[in-house]
Amino acid sequence: MALRSRPHPEERSQSPSRRTHIALCAVLAAAFLASSCSDTDRRHPAVRQPIGEREPLRTGHWRGQIGMTEVDFSIDQVAAATVSVRVSGSVLRQAGQPKPASALDSYFYDRPRSCKRTSDGRSFDCTRYTDMHINNGQLCGLYEASGQVYRPCFDPVP
C-alpha cells in the first residue's frame, strides 16, 4: 500500500476568504467603538460618595456647598485631643438676585479654631459643625444654623 504525500481533498483546510477577513475586521472595529463609548468614559469621572467607613483624621482641604454657601474647610493640624481648622467661603447668588456691591459682601471667613476630637478619635466637634469625619476621602458631618440642619460631605481639593 502506498502512502500519499498530500492530504485527501476533504481533509484539506480551506483558508478563509477575503470576505471573511473583511467581515471579521468590521466586527472587531464595531466592538472597539462600542466599548469606547461606554458609561465609564474618562470625561465623566465617577461621583465620590460616602461609604460609611470613618478614616483616620488628617490634614487637608475640602470644598462643598451648604445651602446657598460654597464652603472651604481646611484641617491644618490633628493633635491627640484637638483638631485645628479654618472655615471660609462665599455666598452663592441665585438667578434674579442683584449682584452684591462688592465681592467682599459675599465672602466670609472664620478665624482659625481648635475643635475637640470625639472619643472614637476619628471625628471632631466644632461650633455648628459636629461629627466631622473623613469618609471615602470626603469630609462629612452635621451643620446646624438658623434652625436648619445640613449633612454636608465636602469633596477634597487637589
pTM of the model: 0.65
Q: Which amino acid is at 108?
A: F
Positions of E strands within the chain? 60-66, 69-78, 82-91, 107-109, 113-117, 123-125, 129-135, 138-145, 148-150, 153-156
Residue 117 contacts by C-beta under 8 Å, 6 or more apart in sequence? 57, 78, 79, 80, 81, 82, 83, 123, 124
The mean pLDDT of 16-39, rounded to a whole number, is: 57
pLDDT single digits (tens) 84-107: 999 999 988 765 556 555 544 678
CA distances in angstroms from 1 to 5, 7, 40, listed in the order given? 13, 16, 66
pLDDT band per the 50, 70, 90 thresholds, residue 41: very low
The pLDDT score that the predictor gives to residue 40 is 47
Nearest to 93 by CA among 105, 110, 85, 84: 105
